[in-house]
């Protein structure tokens, strides 16, 4: 736990009073004791949904005696490694209401600078005044820390008691004692502990992968039949018999989308089958980068079938990145060229039904696969075969039947079992906690999982 607890006992105000009006000393209020806490630790930030990336500093304070006066929090950056002690500070001249240059420009006290009147010039968060930046304005103390986002470096904070003006973010006075904190630097973590469970899941799947890879080399792994994938070859054969092309749509998302990647992986196999059957395959892409990759994948598919010469690059097309314009373009292809097989693999949105219904009208065999939950009903109602969610991702491994890939499918199954056990376990725990059964009431799921 990287915390710094700073106690600043402010005596400056009393000393000044002694010099100017000695009779006030007896009546002077007790000096304010500031308890300032600076926080950098990972638990603190993660608990507030903030990344412990070394760009955040938490600051909280209480005053003794407790004062309800608002506090203006200001930040100033120092040269890296500067070590400054916490201290009290004068922000206004005696009895004045204007922030003085000596406070605003502490690094150049002998250079002339103008004062700043915050009663007419608002100081919203983010405003720069002199060498300071306004971080927050809090009514009273802040026992719950303020999280300040900063660049990596060294900083000091000024906590200035203030009286609010009538206009927003204006201040008509600065009574009481202001303090400057010790110099602080944010600390970055090298591991986000809130994500330990994600890492554990990856470790489980990786461990299972190695286990099943070892097993796959010794015995044949069972993979349940995927009717939609089995139908691909039949559908391509039908296209060959009818002398019509196969249409393959890679979805409407960009290349980095995992469903587009899965679609491109399957495309290679479909292209190989199409090449073997000597059937044209038209590939419609919504993004040019997807088109470039798809063209390469189809070329390799033809090469794998030993028919590299039959590949026609112009059959892999970039249509447009606009969703409905893409739907219109593909619908036009379906109606003009009347492909005998339409394959829709990837991420789809509202255009899914437009494509599938148009394909249905032309009497094509349609195979769809998507992980986009909202579009599955549309594909199921309009297509002959639909790969639901995970089946899309399993399709490529299913087609290759390669032991390493099947091992990864099995590893995924292990993870699903782990998740199912966790779901059941946590459901039981939550139910028991709801019945006030000790010790389940002591824990929250947020304590265990991010």
Stretch 152-181 residues interacting with another protein (CB under 8 A): 152
> Applying CB under 8 A, which of residues 2, 167, 195, 217 lies at the interface with another protein?
195
Quick check: helix, strand or coil at residue 224? coil
Quick check: helix, strand or coil at residue 298? helix
> Applying CB under 8 A, which of residues 200, 227, 289, 310 lies at the interface with another protein?
289
> Does position 246 bind another protein by CB under 8 A?
no
Task: Tell me the residue length of the chain.
Answer: 450
Read off the DSSP letter of residue 51: -
> Does position 405 bind another protein by CB under 8 A?
yes
Q: Of 10 and 298, which CB lies nearer to another protein in the complex structure?
A: 298
Site for another protein in 407-436 (CB under 8 A): 408-409, 411-412, 415-416, 419
> Does position 297 bind another protein by CB under 8 A?
yes
HSE of 214 in the Cβ direction (CA atoms, 13 Å)?
A: 6
Q: How far apart are CA 201 and CA 376, in angstroms?
A: 27
Site for another protein in 99-138 (CB under 8 A): none
Exposed e or buried b per residue across 304-340, where buried means at least 16 C-beta atoms within 10 angstroms of its C-beta = ebeeeeebeeebbbbbbeeeeebbebbbebbeeebbb
User: Which of these segments, 64-72, 100-108, 132-140, 380-388, binds another protein (CB under 8 A)?
Assistant: 380-388
Q: How far apart are CA 299 and CA 185, in angstroms?
A: 55
> Applying CB under 8 A, which of residues 188, 221, 242, 432 lies at the interface with another protein?
188
> Applying CB under 8 A, which of residues 68, 111, 112, 256 lies at the interface with another protein?
256
Contact between 284 and 250 under an 8 Å Cβ cutoff? The reply is yes
Q: Cα–chain-centroid distance for residue 331? A: 35
Least distance (Å) between residue 165 CB and another protein: 15
Quick note: the x/- pattern for another protein over 315-354, rule CB under 8 A, is -xxx---x-xx-xx---x---x-------------x--xx
Residue 363, C-beta contacts closer than 8 angstroms, at least 6 positions apart:
none
> Does position 184 bind another protein by CB under 8 A?
no
User: Which of these segments, 73-81, 90-98, 100-108, 369-377, binds another protein (CB under 8 A)?
Assistant: 369-377
Neighbours of 439 (CB within 10 A): 9
Least distance (Å) between residue 12 CB and another protein: 35
> Applying CB under 8 A, which of residues 258, 421, 424, 448 lies at the interface with another protein?
258
Q: Of 258 and 310, which CB lies nearer to another protein in the complex structure?
A: 258
Environment class of 136 (CB within 10 Å of its CB; exposed 0-12, middle 13-18, buried 19+):
middle
Least distance (Å) between residue 45 CB and another protein: 9
Least distance (Å) between residue 119 CB and another protein: 14
H or E element, residue 26: none
């Amino acid at each position: 736990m990287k915390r710094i607890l700073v106690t600043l006992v402010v005596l400056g105000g009393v000393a000044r009073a002694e010099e100017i009006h000695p009779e006030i000393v007896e009546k002077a209020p007790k000096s304010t004791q500031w308890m300032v806490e600076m926080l950098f630790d990972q638990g603190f930030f993660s608990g507030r949904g903030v990344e412990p990336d070394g760009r955040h500093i938490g600051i909280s304070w209480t005053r003794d005696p407790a004062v309800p006066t608002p506090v203006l929090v200001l930040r100033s950056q120092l040269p890296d490694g500067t070590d400054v002690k916490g201290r009290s500070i004068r922000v206004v001249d005696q009895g004045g209401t204007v922030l003085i240059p000596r406070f605003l420009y502490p690094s150049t006290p002998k250079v002339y600078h103008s004062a700043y009147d915050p009663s007419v010039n608002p100081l919203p968060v983010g405003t720069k005044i002199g060498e300071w930046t306004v971080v927050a304005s809090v009514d009273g103390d802040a026992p719950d820390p303020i999280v300040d986002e900063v660049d990596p470096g060294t900083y000091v904070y000024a906590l200035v008691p203030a009286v609010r003006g009538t206009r927003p973010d204006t201040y008509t006075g600065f009574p009481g004692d202001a303090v400057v904190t010790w110099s602080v630097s944010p600390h970055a973590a090298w591991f986000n502990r809130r994500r330990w469970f994600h890492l554990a899941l990856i470790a489980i799947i990786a461990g299972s992968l190695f286990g099943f890879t070892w097993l796959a080399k010794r015995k044949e792994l069972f993979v349940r039949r995927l009717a939609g994938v089995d139908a691909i070859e039949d559908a391509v054969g039908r296209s060959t018999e009818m002398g019509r092309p196969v249409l393959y749509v890679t979805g409407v998302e960009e290349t980095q989308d995992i469903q587009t990647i899965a679609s491109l992986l399957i495309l290679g196999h479909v292209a190989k089958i199409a090449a073997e059957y000597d059937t044209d395959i038209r590939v419609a892409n919504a993004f040019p980068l997807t088109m470039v990759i798809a063209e390469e994948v189809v070329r390799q598919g033809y090469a794998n079938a030993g028919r590299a010469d039959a590949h026609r690059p112009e059959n892999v097309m970039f249509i447009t990145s606009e969703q409905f314009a893409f739907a219109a373009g593909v619908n036009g292809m379906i109606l003009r060229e009347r492909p005998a097989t339409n394959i829709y693999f990837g991420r789809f949105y509202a255009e899914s039904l437009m494509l599938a219904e148009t394909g249905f009208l032309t009497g094509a065999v349609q195979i769809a696969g998507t992980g986009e939950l909202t579009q599955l009903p549309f594909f199921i109602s309009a297509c002959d075969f639909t790969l639901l969610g995970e089946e899309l991702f399993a399709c490529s491994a299913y087609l290759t039947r390669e032991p390493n890939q099947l091992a990864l499918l099995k590893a995924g199954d292990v993870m699903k079992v782990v998740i199912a056990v966790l779901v059941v376990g946590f459901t039981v725990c939550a139910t028991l906690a709801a019945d006030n059964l000790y010790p389940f009431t002591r824990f929250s799921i947020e304590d265990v999982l991010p």
